[in-house]
Amino acid sequence: MLIDFNNLNINNLSFQTDFEYKINFFLEEWFSDDNTVKVQTSGSTGIPKIFEIEKNKMVNSAVMTCDFLELQEGNKALLCLPVEYISGKMMIVRSIVRKLKLIVAEPSLNPLENLQEEIDFCAMTPLQVENSMDKLHLIKNLIIGGAAVSESLKKKIAQNYRSGSSRIFETYGMSETLSHIALKQIMPESEDYFTAFENVSISVDGKGCLKIFAPNINADVLQTNDLVEIKNERQFKFLGRTDNVINSGGAKISPETLETLVKKEIPNEAVFLGIKDESLGQKLILVIEGSESEDLIKNISEIPFEKNFHKPKEIIFIENIPRTPNGKVNRIELHKIITTGL
């Protein structure tokens, strides 16, 4: 299905699948007289919520992304994300604002399977990218969000990258920031720091957590639980979330930092968790997605962790790590699975 927002007539569109009907529902909501639309959060850090967002703020967010990527009227974009969430909704809004031609593909793990032509813009989750390596060269501007891009995925992208074929970015954002407010290039150059959009101010609180002031999309300063390292007024490095911090024997451990280190050495998904322990308070364990492997265990044992207490007390293998619908690791559900099985 193709929707040309440069020559849009909703009455002439033919919606057939459930996904296409959801798009139609959002378009009707968007072009209604209401000033807001409803958005559902992913639920990766708590109970999913539904809240209302002002349409003009979504327009402002769309303009920032389109300007950053230099998208032009008439460019082709691909929608392959659920439209219940901000990520899918914003792909439609960007297409409306910049008058793009939007190709609709059913959200799946391999959304580029039937793609035969070059497109100018697409947003995907890491899992979708993982299964689309042979077609990434067809996308001129690709943004990856919904979950952190692992080191192993970055390696695969670099190995399959065709010189000069496309620009690939990792996003930083959340539902409350109307998708993303910063991008970090993966290819053709690999950047360590996210760069915030114009008119977005960043700072940290006393705990080192990121504070975001983006008046075009939110009148208030947004206080996050994300630990960051600030490089300058527009650039920062994500270190981890304070609500994921593990307190083991009095030592505070950021699981995301350790996961980045581990994923440089193994191809599997890896998640550090803190499990209740009488002597330590929380015992540091490492959950690996896939079949148990002595080679993987050996590789992990040889990783040069900065501190001795960063080494997992136990390694657990699980067939499938639970994820939210938009691809984020569901740490709450994973913790339930692990503690129930211990």
The CATH number that applies at residue 252 is 3.30.300.30
Co-location of 142 and 253 in the same domain: no
Q: Which of 201, 225, 241 is the last residue of a domain?
A: 241
Co-location of 257 and 198 in the same domain: no
Co-location of 47 and 142 in the same domain: yes
User: At a CB cut-off of 8 Å and minimum separation 6, what does 97 contact?
Assistant: 59, 62, 63, 66
The pLDDT value recorded for residue 42 is: 60
Task: Please count the structural domains in the chain.
Answer: 2
The pLDDT value recorded for residue 264 is: 86
As a whole number, the mean pLDDT across the chain is 90
Q: Is the pLDDT of residue 196 over 80?
A: yes
Pairing outcome for strands 194-196 and 281-289: unpaired
The pLDDT value recorded for residue 252 is: 85
CATH of the domain at 147: 3.40.50.12780
User: At a CB cut-off of 8 Å and minimum separation 6, what does 15 contact?
Assistant: 1, 21, 23, 24
What is the Cα–Cα distance from 191 to 127, expressed in whole angstroms? 21
Q: Is the pLDDT of residue 269 over 70?
A: yes
Co-location of 195 and 94 in the same domain: yes
Tokens representing residue 104 in the block: 């609709």
CA distances from 176 to 144, 173, 219, 245 (A): 18, 8, 12, 22
Co-location of 308 and 190 in the same domain: no
Q: Which of 219, 241, 263 is the last residue of a domain?
A: 241
Residues written for the chain: 342
Co-location of 58 and 184 in the same domain: yes
What is the Cα–Cα distance from 271 to 258, expressed in whole angstroms? 9
CB atoms within 10 A of CB 12: 7
CB atoms within 10 A of CB 140: 18
Co-location of 233 and 333 in the same domain: no
Q: Is the pLDDT of residue 326 over 80?
A: no
Q: Which of 241, 273, 291 is the last residue of a domain?
A: 241
* Domain range enclosing 155: 2-241
Model's pTM, two decimal places?
Answer: 0.79
